[in-house]
Structure 1
Amino acid sequence: MSGLSRRGLFGLGVAGVAAVGAGAVATRALVDEPVAHASSTSGPVPFYGSHQAGITTPAQDRLHFVTFDVVTKERAELVGLLQDWTAAAARMTQGKDAGTFGAVGGDPEAPPDDTGEALGLPPSGLTLTIGFGASLFDDRFGLADRRPPALADLPAFPGEDLQKEISGGDLCVQACANDPQVAVHAIRNLARIGFGKVAVRYSQLGFGRTSSTSRAQATPRNLMGFKDGTNNMKLEDTAMLRDYLWAAPGDGPSWMDGGSYLVTRKIRMHVETWDRAPLAEQQAIFGRDKGKGAPLTGTNEFDAPDFAKTGPDGTPVIAADAHVRLAHPSSHGGARLLRRGYNFVDGSDGLGRLDAGLFFMAYQRDPRTQFVPIQKTLSAKDALNEYIKHVSTGLFACPPGVVDAGDYWGRALFS
């Protein structure tokens, strides 16, 4: 089964199978190998590059996010795991099985080296993005002096109700894809490969991206029914990405040059209460029209909000505690984030209420000057706080990309 794509397992004819026999495809070709008849949502995303995929990649529709605690005490085992994970990620993002022999091609008396639930499925735009939590930089692996200053613990914010068991973690992996089974398959295989070296701390499924990361994408809606992330940074914003997304030489340790910092927040929405609020109140809270997404001072979604505009009674059209005002870069010295959040519905809470909300994810160059001041303002003043509760948090240093088959996730950190 080596080199056989998921789609190829069921869709290739005899000639096609012969053409991709064992050893026929070089590892580096995983980047450029085309997938026959792939559409923009089902084809592969290149794995190798100066930055990790899954950050500026046009946001896919599905998420499986997981954090791990490292249970081995051996540095060499951790490095070996990162090498194994990188090789598996390179394969899976191109629609291949996680291991050389795949789900059905190995010794029948041994466990398969792929779990098999993605057999027959295309790559579906799968990206895998890794990050290192602050807890990894303790005294276990000799990394304490390599912790970036920007990986400083996030402060406590007013009103949050954080659950320790779904916060933090030594490692995180973000799997995004346009097919939920492809995303779950990827995380499941990394957990399988890591057995005995890492243990899953928590995971989160997400659907219906809540931000666009490309101008080619329409702005999606969150579970409150509002367009979300209208002013998000986009992959086309080259200068902004340089200034606000990618860690630069001199920002911190050199192993993070070209990387980024990920903040995660699980935000529970009190949707039943929200659904009983009048439309006018909902729009005043967001500062936007619910239908078009336009600011209350404009007519189109991308109109710049006019925070100085007042109504007939002399009060601001966009209220002082409106979300759009408090989250706007002008309120934080121009600070911006690249958001990649997802909706979630995790069943009900046992009291007849949906356990639903937003799994917020935002990448940035330095959380101390970007996420932290923004969240301080929002948590203290945002009218939306009546309807939401932050229940988990995470901060991860996401290293630069894997440049070729001889590289691996975090190599410079351990060099």
Structure 2
Amino acid sequence: MTRTGLEEGVTRRDVLKVAGLTGIGAALYASGIERFLPRALTAQATDQVPFYGKYQAGILTPVQNHVQVVAFDIQTTRRDELIDLLQRWTRACARLTAGLSLGESDSLYVPPEDTGEADGLSASHLTFTFGCGISLFADNRFGIAHKRPDALRELPVFDLDQLNERWSGGDLVVQICADDQQVVFHALRNLTRIGRGVVKIRWTQAGFQRSKAADATGGTPRNLFGFKDGTGNPDLSQATVRDKHLFYQWRDGSPWLTNGSFLVVRRVQMHLEVWDRTILKEQERTFGRERSSGAPLGSKKEFDSVTPKQRTAHGEAQLPSDSHTAVAHGTGQEHLLRRSYSYQAGINETTGALDAGLLFLSFQRSPEQFITIQKRLATSDRLNEYITHRGSALFACFGGIQKGGYIGDALFA
């Protein structure tokens, strides 16, 4: 596609010279120049999520349309090489989240600094969330074994788990989210390219939700069983709630992790063919919610309180005690932030059944918040008949990155 007029001579670099790296282009709009700019450039003021801050982006950020979770194993044994990679990743992420390429490619005789598939695309609310697994501290290979948080351990193998090493573990993790799938892939590809020789991919999984364009109301997304997923998330608008349930505190024992959070990743296969043959009444009693409204059984609205003891006129429990909602709710004391996506990974070549399900992602101040809930679910949840847990990993996600610093710098200080 060719461009005409002023647009031909305006590059991303030219726009940023006028607008500034923050993308706030008041001068552009006052002059009327935005009429001649590609849409991807004029959108930069509204679709960028700051990379630097008190907390890492991708936790409190409104959930984007797409995710790619990638776990890396570290190949180098040199601390300085690992730190250098984290510094290079930091610079790359700061540029990509600002809607910039990783560099100009002025020579035809060297590989480009950027792979190019996101050229002309906006930042699309791109975020990166970095963390480390327990294996990073193993053998004191980087001189940080004494800094491992007590809470960072292998997750237990729960009843009914059928875990595959292919979808578990990792030295480092990155959660990459954006509203455009190509932007997400571009980010994954370039982090991997930059890390070549220092890290290698252990596993990676893409996920999706309904898009913002398809649901302008921003309602709770539905999982592949057709039920709303994430209704029970806590209200994190108050700092006291965030500090209590979501973010690691200095007094928790590992100061370097302050303002970080623990990320649980579970790859949960959904047996869709079995579910699709189940009557609606049984589906609703399995989840403990109405499919259409998302309301707990016995209630009218999605966000009505869960009341496990509520009875019908005949004395029967309106919310089955073994329903997913009732078991997950428990006493109502455990809270975590679910940030899950659906996944689809082809078919089972033996059965021809779809390989699809839930990429469960949760952030919490302590892994015990998840473990307590999952122990109940593993033993009592009626939903277990329709799902199988295939992958499991726990990571400690760093606190926010500050300008002039780098990813995980407090750990290596």
- TM-score, scaled to structure 1: 0.89
Q: 1:33 to 1:315 in 2, by over 3 A?
A: same
Q: Judge conservation of contact 1:57–1:235 (CA < 8 Å) in 2.
A: no
Deviations 1:344-368 (A, max 9, x none): 1111111110001000000000012
- Distance in 1 (CA, whole Å) between partners of 2:312 and 2:273 is 31
Q: CA deviation at 1:83?
A: 0.2
User: Is 2:74 aligned against 1:75?
Assistant: no
Q: Judge conservation of contact 2:223–2:358 (CA < 8 Å) in 1.
A: yes
What is the alpha-carbon root mean square deviation over aligned residues? 2.4
Q: 1:25 to 1:395 in 2, by over 3 A?
A: farther
> Counterpart of 1:414 in 2: which secondary structure?
coil
Q: 1:82 to 1:30 in 2, by over 3 A?
A: farther
Deviations 1:323-360 (A, max 9, x none): 111111xx256111111110011111111100010000
Q: Judge conservation of contact 2:44–2:99 (CA < 8 Å) in 1.
A: no
Q: Judge conservation of contact 2:55–2:401 (CA < 8 Å) in 1.
A: yes
Q: 1:200 to 1:400 in 2, by over 3 A?
A: same
Equivalenced residues, count: 391
- Distance in 1 (CA, whole Å) between partners of 2:228 and 2:345 is 22
Q: CA deviation at 1:100?
A: 2.6
> Counterpart of 2:116 in 1: which secondary structure?
coil
2:278 is aligned to 277
1:4 is aligned to none
Q: Judge conservation of contact 1:123–1:182 (CA < 8 Å) in 2.
A: yes
Q: 1:209 to 1:245 in 2, by over 3 A?
A: farther
- Distance in 2 (CA, whole Å) between partners of 1:167 and 1:19 is 44
Q: Judge conservation of contact 1:262–1:364 (CA < 8 Å) in 2.
A: yes
2:32 is aligned to none
Counterpart AA for 1:362: S
Q: Judge conservation of contact 2:154–2:393 (CA < 8 Å) in 1.
A: no
User: Is 2:343 aligned against 1:344?
Assistant: yes
Q: CA deviation at 1:12?
A: 4.6
Q: Judge conservation of contact 2:117–2:186 (CA < 8 Å) in 1.
A: yes
- Distance in 1 (CA, whole Å) between partners of 2:209 and 2:11 is 35
Deviations 1:55-88 (A, max 9, x none): 0000001011100000011100000000000100
- Distance in 2 (CA, whole Å) between partners of 1:338 and 1:217 is 17
In the TM superposition, 1:319-358 aligns within 5 A as 319-328=320-329, 331-332=330-331, 334-350=333-349, 351-358=351-358
In the TM superposition, 1:189-208 aligns within 5 A as 189-208=190-209
- Distance in 1 (CA, whole Å) between partners of 2:259 and 2:229 is 27
Moved more, 219-228 or 300-309: 300-309
User: Is 2:60 aligned against 1:47?
Assistant: no
Q: CA deviation at 1:36?
A: 4.7
> Counterpart of 2:190 in 1: which secondary structure?
helix
Q: 1:291 to 1:333 in 2, by over 3 A?
A: closer
1:100 is aligned to 103
1:63 is aligned to 67
Q: Judge conservation of contact 1:332–1:373 (CA < 8 Å) in 2.
A: no
Counterpart AA for 1:394: A
User: Is 2:43 aligned against 1:38?
Assistant: yes
1:248 is aligned to 249
Identity, in percent, stands at 46
2:154 is aligned to 153
Counterpart AA for 2:319: I
Q: Judge conservation of contact 1:265–1:393 (CA < 8 Å) in 2.
A: yes
Name stretches of at least 5 consecutive residues in structure 2 with no aligned partner: 26-39, 212-216
- TM-score, scaled to structure 2: 0.89
Q: Judge conservation of contact 1:150–1:252 (CA < 8 Å) in 2.
A: no
1:124 is aligned to 124
Q: Judge conservation of contact 1:209–1:341 (CA < 8 Å) in 2.
A: no
1:399 is aligned to 398
In the TM superposition, 1:23-34 aligns within 5 A as 24=17, 30-31=21-22, 33=24
1:291 is aligned to 292
> Counterpart of 2:317 in 1: which secondary structure?
coil
- Distance in 2 (CA, whole Å) between partners of 1:244 and 1:79 is 30
- Distance in 2 (CA, whole Å) between partners of 1:160 and 1:106 is 52
2:375 is aligned to 376
Q: 1:163 to 1:17 in 2, by over 3 A?
A: closer
Counterpart AA for 1:375: Q
- Distance in 2 (CA, whole Å) between partners of 1:305 and 1:258 is 30
- Distance in 2 (CA, whole Å) between partners of 1:12 and 1:327 is 54
Query: 9, 17, 40: which is aligned to 1:14?
Result: 9
> Counterpart of 1:149 in 2: which secondary structure?
coil
- Distance in 2 (CA, whole Å) between partners of 1:153 and 1:25 is 50
Q: 1:31 to 1:367 in 2, by over 3 A?
A: farther
Q: Judge conservation of contact 1:135–1:169 (CA < 8 Å) in 2.
A: yes
Moved more, 251-260 or 30-39: 30-39
Q: CA deviation at 1:20?
A: 4.6
